[in-house]
Chains A and B, each alone.
Chain A
Amino acid sequence: EAEVAQSPRYKITEKSQAVAFWCDPISGHATLYWYRQILGQGPELLVQFQDESVVDDSQLPKDRFSAERLKGVDSTLKIQPAELGDSAMYLCASSSLTEAFFGQGTRLTVV
């Protein structure tokens, strides 16, 4: 069964360091999303791609966060420098026309 793959599953980093997350969507899904989920809350959209183009990054803190999907397939989300408040679960999803499927997420802890 096709799945959205994310790595790493867990990441601990010191504040002010750089950190990167990787996502491989379900084959054929043109739309890819990065969500951030703070403990006890619902996922919030950070960035949405259609193929290699950014459709929505209005909630992405662009002073420290960046995302790319160079070939329209896999994607990388980077944080530099990391802050304590960035500790959260980072979820990647990809969608067909009607359904969005999520990866297992990367749990980031900034110390």
Chain B
Amino acid sequence: GEDVEQSLFLSVREGDSSVINCTYTDSSSTYLYWYKQEPGAGLQLLTYIFSNMDMKQDQRLTVLLNKKDKHLSLRIADTQTGDSAIYFCAENAGTYKYIFGTGTRLKVLA
């Protein structure tokens, strides 16, 4: 079946790196995504990675994919207070169907 799991909370100090982890179950997923959600708002696409890649870097964001272990991570370098939000991992489980995790609430301490 399809299932995406994330830890619920992460707290870091401003300026440190944040690493948010995700595990998924559908090995046929073609793309894997990270979305950011601020309070009361919709989901903002941050980045995504194609399943044949191991790593993707986009400014302060680094995505690592371990396809063997079905593990995805998002590293945010130099974390700022504006990065405080809920981060969702999602897999594209074929036929363009997106399955989301429960979200990781990131709190950045000044």
Chain A residues with CB under 8 Å of chain B are: 4, 6, 31, 33, 35, 41-45, 48, 50, 55-56, 91, 93, 95, 98-105, 107
Chain B residues with CB under 8 Å of chain A are: 4, 31, 33, 35, 40-45, 48, 88, 95-103
Q: How far is the CA of A20 from the CA of B43 in the complex (A)?
A: 21
Query: Given A55-B95, A104-B42, list of 12 further CB < 8 A pairs?
Result: A41-B103, A42-B88, A42-B101, A42-B102, A43-B100, A91-B42, A91-B43, A93-B43, A95-B96, A101-B45, A102-B43, A107-B40
With contact pairs A55-B95, A98-B48 given, residues A104 and B41 touching in the complex (Cβ less than 8 Å): yes
Q: 29 A–B contact pairs at CB < 8 A?
A: A6-B42, A35-B100, A41-B102, A41-B103, A42-B100, A42-B101, A43-B88, A44-B100, A45-B97, A45-B98, A48-B95, A48-B96, A91-B42, A93-B43, A95-B96, A95-B98, A99-B33, A99-B45, A100-B33, A100-B45, A100-B98, A101-B45, A102-B42, A102-B43, A103-B42, A104-B41, A104-B42, A105-B42, A107-B40
Q: How far is the CA of A64 from the CA of B96 in the complex (A)?
A: 26
Q: How far is the CA of A105 from the CA of B102 in the complex (A)?
A: 17
Which residues from B are CB-within-8-Å of A99? 33, 45, 48
**Shortest Cβ distance from A10 into B: residue:** B40
Which residues from B are CB-within-8-Å of A44? 100
Choose from B43, B44, B96 the contact partner of A43 (Cβ within 8 Å).
B43
User: Nearest-CB distance from A39 to chain B (Å)?
Assistant: 11
Which residues from A are CB-within-8-Å of B35? 102
**Shortest Cβ distance from A101 into B: residue:** B45
**Shortest Cβ distance from A43 into B: residue:** B100
User: Nearest-CB distance from B17 to chain A (Å)?
Assistant: 24
